[in-house]
Structure 1
Amino acid sequence: MTSSIDFQRDADGVVTLTFDAPGRRVNTLDSACQADLAAAVERLTAEPPRGVILASAKRSFFAGGDLELLIAVKPADAEGFFREVEALKRSLRRLETLGVPVVAALGGSALGGGWELALACHYRVCVDDAAIELGMPEVTLGLMPGAGGVTRTVRRLGLQAAFDYLVEGRRFDPRHALEAGLIDQLVADPAQLAAAARSLIEAHPESRQPWDREGWRLPGGAPSSPQVAQALMAAPAMLRGRTHGRYPAPEAILAAMVEGAQVDFDTASRIESRWFTSLATGQVAKNMIGALWFDRNAVLSGASRPDAVPRTRFSRIGILGAGMMGAGIAYAAASRGIEVVLKDIDLERAERGRAHSARLLDKRLARGRIDAVERDAVLARIQPTDSAADLAGCELVIEAVFEDRQLKAQVTHEAEAVLDAEAMLASNTSTLPISGLARASERPQRFIGLHFFSPVDRMQLVEIIRGEATDDATVARAYDFVRQLGKLPIVVNDGRGFFTSRVFEAYVNEGMAMLAEGVAPALIERAAQMAGMPVGPLAVVDEVSLTLCRHIARQTEADFAAEGRPYPRHRAESVIKRMLDEFGRAGRAAGAGFYDYPADGEKRLWPGLAAFGGQGIVPVEELVDRFLFIQALETLRAVEDGVLRHAHDANIGSIFGLGFPAWTGGSLRFLEQYGLEAARERAQALRQRHGERFAPPARLLAAQGRLLD
């Protein structure tokens, strides 16, 4: 069997261990690699070298741990898993206590277990390339460093300095690592790595880690020292305020840091292993790995993209409407090297849209992320205009005007009059069915929905909506365009509200329904945050405006009437009516909504919301479940309606588009990880107390395993 480590000893007695996992694009600390590392260390012990260099034959150094193994480990496997972790650590400990210098030669990124492997070396030399990523971001997947990363980072930097690298999972580049003392030397290119590593070996013939030297003390002070103790007193409360107890990884990391800082290295390492095992065998890590790694990679690899269509790159696009969304899309495209024609009804409005990009670019310039030449080049790619004739030559035109069918039809006709026959048209609508908008087009097969999220420069997700007439080539090209922007594309079928808007509406309507019931506004917002939502529903409605909510409701009611179907009213509509008609509060843009927006302070809930009454004591977990279940059940209805085709689009769309809590693994996985039978029972209980909107869909009632592949 081919080894994943090439063992080479030169004439001077320096051994180079080159990691090269057979048949894999990257190296990972999987079972095979761990066994090969143990064998290599055994050989080094039996045949002592003059020094050791760890290198990689891949473009990156190491990608980290084996996530397929980690997502599969069960609570019943905890004891065996713990032993495997400890076995890996014994190999790393033997490596760093050989008595000879061990150098990590980093020619590419080293993340997670890869960086932990580098930390077990006495020295690290790295290529000076800003594209190289280093660090331990395990916390973002519900995990923690488990191969000595916590123990060694705390001992190298101290508790306070190690916090961002461990609890926050900070990634950093080689120059930052050099300044922080985590890298010993930078070289200009990979060809210089071996020579630099050998120089370090020559300069330090007998090497030990700082914590293995006599008289070593923890940098910054022990946990009992006054300054550190004061910071540690506040840290747990600060973390709980952020995680609300839903994300165990940050708290486990902090515990391992503090507990480990008070004991010897080997005991600290064992403490780390126990905390790591508890996380790896827990459900939250599995949810987050499933969504943020496997589902996200499925989206990025094109699992929802039609296969038979060649890849496309866009060089010139048009945008109709230079408001907040249109200007944001223009910036996103121009920043990726695409020429943009930004059209509005007059040149002044188009210029204001271009000025939005100038402001964003100036912020990046001030932070040193770009230079003036790059700023000017991006801005020069945006051509403001009031003439549809300037759209000639655009390969794609995105309509981003107000949510009005007649207006959208008008600008579609204007664009098509000057576009080439193969050009695509897209609507940035958030609610209006694409198939209906496509009826205004002479090329409905090349008409598609591209639903961006605000603010476009920060939001990663784009929802691609396929209309009834949209062909495969248009779906594929739309996917390629979104990836060219560096964003996450999910692909869904047409339907009222598509996927994200209908689930978003369910969330905010549930919050307003609670208000109509007399639930205290502060408790509503707090319960949403305790569930893991980034922003409470009342604050979200203020951002989008109650006027828009009313417009969407009226448009939906008219559509139902035109289709001859009864319109299902929601308690939220009574709240919207009172807020607009009785209180004159339309939202943040109007200066007053569910919140007050004082000029001299932070926003605060409007005291006048007391007009909706008070319900007394309400169990907060009931509210939490209402927020989570109403979104998950609406997601499942979108599956039943044929809008959602793949689970990865549902989970990624809910997390990155709606802010559905990542600890659940996404709005569809939430029901699966809850337990299907338990989810059915909980939905029925919520239905009995709060109405038919919580009725479990037929797919949930019948499901035995996955709700959607």
Structure 2
Amino acid sequence: MGEFRYEKDADGIVTITMDMDGPVNAMNAEFDGLYQEMTDKLCAETGLTGVVLTSAKPTFFAGGDLKWLIGVEPGQEQEIYDNVERTKANKRRLERLGVPVVAAINGAAAGGGFEICLACHHRIAADVPAVKIGLPEVTLGLLPGGGGVVRLTYMLGIEDAMPFVLEGRMVPAQAALKAGLIHELVDSIAALVPRAKDHIKSVQGDAAAHTQPWDDRAYRIPGGPSNSASAAPRMAAGSAMLFKKTRGLLPAPGKIMDIMANTASNVDFDSAQRYESRQFASLVPLPVTKNMIQAFFFDLNKVNGGAARPKDVPKSKVTKLGILGAGMMGQGIAYSAAMAAIEVVLKDTSLEAAERGKGYTKRLLDKRIAKGRMDQAAADAVLARITPTDQAQSLQGCDLIIEAVFERLDVKEAVLAEHEALLGDAGFWGSNTSTLPIGRLAQGAARPEKFIGLHFFSPVDKMPLLEIVVGEKTDDETLARAFDFARQIGKTAIVVNDSTGFYTSRTIGTKMDEAAQMVAEGLDPVRVENLGRAVGFPTGMLSLYDEVKLSLAVDIFDTQVGMGLRSTDGDATPEARALLREMVQAGRKGRGAGGGFFDYPEDGKAFWPGLAKWREDRVNIPDQDIKDRMLFRAVLETLRCLDEGVLRSVPDANIGSIMGIGAPTWTGGYAQFVETYGRARFVARCEELAAKYGARFLPPESLRQAA
């Protein structure tokens, strides 16, 4: 059984070393008993002069038991509340023990783990890379319910606490000290407990050393109460910004703001704690909470942990990377690779174009320097890793060559023929195509087994996803090396099988086409755009069409028809296609070409007046239908990709949809959405939509059977 080791020394200091079952300490059923037993024993101790709380694990404490939380159902709120209040009661006993209690933080203290530290009077961390400190609960649809919101508001004040409780910011040791999350640092893990004991000895007899700020009658919350003349405007502005960001679809941030406002007003500390517990308990059973826990903890861990990576291939690293094409995608890949200490050869048709591509990295580095996130020497070292060139021979011996040229079969075939032989003996080829089948592109390869799709997302320096596309002849070693490269440059990699558009491109196109289809049917484009945002898409679908270019969508469709990859008869939204063609012919090619659905004057953007041609006042459908038409199209395409074997796993579907193509966060990803919506209910809604708007909304037979 796990234990909290209890050791009392000759000076009366008790050291508690948390060593629970499993690889990490976690706030589960075992913890409740161990924490209760520890507190009881400390309260009964005689001759006690202080307490040091530390960990035997590489991670100080990993937080709550998410496996249990994700299984909580509506009706269990009181059980959750009682559990949280029981733990909080023991934290209060520890705070009021009458001797200094010191947290000695040797590794990551996340969520519930940091809340344990907040209930200590003094916090010391080792200044080592393993230490990360913060309250990430909001990123999982939860709130810090073990006292984190209330205690941090008391400690830092509303404004300074917001990044940690509302954004879930996790910070390294130095940043934690600067922010006031901890009191001091030591150079090594070995120095933690000795320093903690020295602190206890140095404050003997000082009542302030074992009194929390919230238990000091003279203490005032930094920045004042939430209803003060100085704080109230900030609270109002913060609430407005929060709604703009979440659109009311994520309940946790709003509840956190509510707790902070109550804490920093006339409510006493213990009442604020109970209110926090109630709000936490109300969140746990919600579908959005389950969706976010599933996606951002379980699914993301599986994807990043290499569930799709062949297990029998040794780990590898790319040391020299060749990139063909120094445009928007190529320059972004070059920056990401150079930041990961990879030597990059960036080739374009002219040296001037290649140097412009390198200039993109310089501009990004200059911004980092201006923000204090990098010094000049480090930036110079990154920039020196990129060699611009117009000479093919410069790529000789690359471990990996990525082509990021125009999305045209003839162009991609030409660069493959010219450069493939320059790869090192164990090198492999990556195509940054978003739609063209890898098997077709690999037909001209001398070694098709070393050919793989590496579909990046724009802008590469900001977008976290990489879609790895496995061709029919791609071998396991190439897949494993591609996955290792993705992790090397800090990308989350989903692995999909070859098909037209793969997963992300074919799925993102469905919701964009559906929005265009509704405009073609006569609906008000303002309504379509705004209701798309109301679903939780990062941007409206018509704005997204402008960003990716209407002309590109038309070209891709025509290219696929020309290659025999699709037929015009199989177009699910022919009216949308006709609308796009007419707009492109009228010069409305997209934002980069001067305008598409929108005009872009200097002071913002406005819908193109020419869209009035399609507007028909008699056409009117319910708001929910408009929202569901866009959302369900993408969900149904995801289910088809799973059925067809394009997607290899549900976690890849969920993470790929959120990180790559704008699935609303609250859904937990397009596959997960079906689970909490309810399979039978989803099938019924699909049939309603199909009856009204067409067979493209019919659910797949596999889902009917599962429902």
Question: TM > 0.5 between the two?
Answer: yes
Confirm or deny that 1:693 pairs with 2:692. no
Match of 2:40 in 1: 42
CA distance in 2, matches of 1:222, 1:366: 34
Opposite residue 605 of structure 1, the aligned amino acid is F
Confirm or deny that 1:400 pairs with 2:404. yes
CA distance in 1, matches of 2:221, 2:451: 63
Opposite residue 73 of structure 2, the aligned amino acid is K
Residue 630 of structure 1 aligns to a residue in which SS? Answer: helix
Match of 1:121 in 2: 120
Q: 1:386 to 1:161 in 2, by over 3 A?
A: closer
Cα shift at 1:420:
3.7
Cα shift at 1:135:
1.3
Confirm or deny that 1:491 pairs with 2:495. yes
Confirm or deny that 1:52 pairs with 2:47. no
Cα pair 2:432 2:455 within 8 Å, conserved: yes
Q: 1:218 to 1:365 in 2, by over 3 A?
A: closer
Residue 483 of structure 1 aligns to a residue in which SS? Answer: helix
Within a 5 Å distance, the mapping from 1:138-149 to structure 2 comes to 138-149=137-148
Cα deviations by residue, 1:295-349 (Å, 9 ceiling, x for unpaired): 0000011111112211111111211111111111111111111111211122221
Cα shift at 1:466:
0.7
Match of 2:30 in 1: 32
Match of 2:290 in 1: 286
CA distance in 2, matches of 1:344, 1:161: 47
Residue 322 of structure 2 aligns to a residue in which SS? Answer: strand
Confirm or deny that 1:593 pairs with 2:591. no
CA distance in 2, matches of 1:229, 1:132: 35
Confirm or deny that 1:346 pairs with 2:350. yes
Residue 7 of structure 2 aligns to a residue in which SS? Answer: strand
CA distance in 1, matches of 2:130, 2:30: 29
Identity fraction in percent: 48
Cα shift at 1:563:
8.4
Residue 53 of structure 2 aligns to a residue in which SS? Answer: strand
CA distance in 2, matches of 1:460, 1:170: 17
CA distance in 1, matches of 2:51, 2:706: 55
Match of 2:2 in 1: 2
Q: 1:561 to 1:323 in 2, by over 3 A?
A: closer
After superposing the two structures, state which structure 1 stretch, 238-247 or 651-660, moved more.
Answer: 238-247
Opposite residue 606 of structure 1, the aligned amino acid is W
Cα shift at 1:564:
11
Cα deviations by residue, 1:601-653 (Å, 9 ceiling, x for unpaired): 22333333223214465432222211211100011111122201100100000
Opposite residue 642 of structure 1, the aligned amino acid is G
Q: 2:254 aligns with which of 251, 256, 264?
A: 251
Confirm or deny that 1:225 pairs with 2:224. no
Match of 1:638 in 2: 641
CA distance in 2, matches of 1:370, 1:457: 16
Opposite residue 112 of structure 2, the aligned amino acid is G
Residue 563 of structure 2 aligns to a residue in which SS? Answer: helix
Confirm or deny that 1:242 pairs with 2:245. yes
CA distance in 2, matches of 1:208, 1:2: 31
Cα shift at 1:531:
0.9
After superposing the two structures, state which structure 1 stretch, 679-688 or 552-561, moved more.
Answer: 552-561
Cα deviations by residue, 1:58-98 (Å, 9 ceiling, x for unpaired): 22322211111211222232222221111111111111010
Match of 1:707 in 2: none
Q: 2:605 aligns with which of 603, 606, 628?
A: 603
After superposing the two structures, state which structure 1 stretch, 160-169 or 586-595, moved more.
Answer: 160-169
Cα pair 1:585 1:592 within 8 Å, conserved: yes
Confirm or deny that 1:370 pairs with 2:384. no
CA distance in 2, matches of 1:591, 1:626: 29
Q: 1:278 to 1:565 in 2, by over 3 A?
A: same
Confirm or deny that 1:660 pairs with 2:663. yes
Opposite residue 85 of structure 1, the aligned amino acid is V
Residue 387 of structure 2 aligns to a residue in which SS? Answer: strand
User: Could you say what the CA RMSD is over the residues aligned between the two structures, in angstroms?
Assistant: 1.9
CA distance in 2, matches of 1:419, 1:136: 46
Q: 1:172 to 1:421 in 2, by over 3 A?
A: closer
Match of 2:101 in 1: 102
Give the length in aligned residue pairs.
700
Match of 2:552 in 1: 548
Cα shift at 1:257:
2.1
Cα deviations by residue, 1:522-551 (Å, 9 ceiling, x for unpaired): 222211111111011111111111111110
Report the TM-score when normalising by structure 2.
Answer: 0.95
Cα shift at 1:118:
0.8
After superposing the two structures, state which structure 1 stretch, 40-49 or 216-225, moved more.
Answer: 216-225
Cα shift at 1:127:
2.4
CA distance in 1, matches of 2:182, 2:421: 59
Cα shift at 1:407:
1.1
Match of 2:521 in 1: 517
CA distance in 2, matches of 1:326, 1:221: 50
Match of 2:332 in 1: 328
Cα deviations by residue, 1:108-131 (Å, 9 ceiling, x for unpaired): 221111111111011112223466
CA distance in 1, matches of 2:198, 2:531: 58
Consecutive unaligned residues in structure 1, runs of 5 or more? 705-709
Confirm or deny that 1:581 pairs with 2:585. yes
CA distance in 2, matches of 1:674, 1:247: 16
Cα shift at 1:394:
0.8
Match of 1:504 in 2: 508
